[in-house]
């Protein structure tokens, strides 16, 4: 599994590539959506290729995702 360090982000597509399947970005997104331990497994650090946040927990918690990334000092 790939580790995304504190204060950094990775795109769904790049994470799919790191997992060995560059065409699996939607599967990465689906896995992030099902993450029950989001602060331990920091899925908030996974963003869209164009730099948009994506839909954190189905879009219901995008403000939390934005706050977490700002808190970490991530450049988005």
* DSSP for 20-75, written as a single string: T-TT-HHHHHHHHHT-S-TTTS-GGGEE-TTS----TTTTTTHHHHHHHHHHHT--
**Residues 1-56: pLDDT tens digits?**
457 888 999 999 999 999 999 999 999 888 888 877 766 667 889 899 898 988 87
Residue with tokens 């948009």: 52
Answer whether residue 31 is part of any domain: yes
Of the residues 16, 28, 32, 43, only one is catalytic, namely: 43
Q: For residue 43, indicate whether it is catalytic.
A: yes
Answer whether residue 76 is part of any domain: no
Q: Is the pTM of this model over 0.95?
A: no
The CATH number that applies at residue 51 is 1.10.10.10
Answer whether residue 71 is part of any domain: no
Answer whether residue 28 is part of any domain: yes
User: Cα–Cα distance between 44 and 67 in angstroms, integer?
Assistant: 10
Answer whether residue 37 is part of any domain: yes
User: In total, how many domains does the chain have?
Assistant: 1
Answer whether residue 48 is part of any domain: yes
Residue-number span of the structural domain to which 18 is assigned: 10-66
**Residues 4-13: pLDDT tens digits?**
888 999 999 9
Answer whether residue 21 is part of any domain: yes
Q: Could you give the angle at the alpha carbon of 6 between the alpha carbons of 4 and 9, nearest 5°?
A: 50
């Amino acid at each position: 599994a790939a580790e995304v360090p504190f204060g950094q982000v990775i795109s769904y597509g790049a994470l799919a590539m790191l997992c060995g399947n560059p065409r699996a970005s939607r599967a990465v997104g689906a896995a992030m959506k099902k993450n029950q331990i989001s602060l331990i497994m920091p899925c908030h650090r996974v963003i869209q290729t164009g730099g948009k946040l994506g839909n954190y927990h189905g879009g219901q918690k995008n403000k939390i995702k934005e706050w977490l990334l700002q808190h970490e000092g991530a450049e988005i």
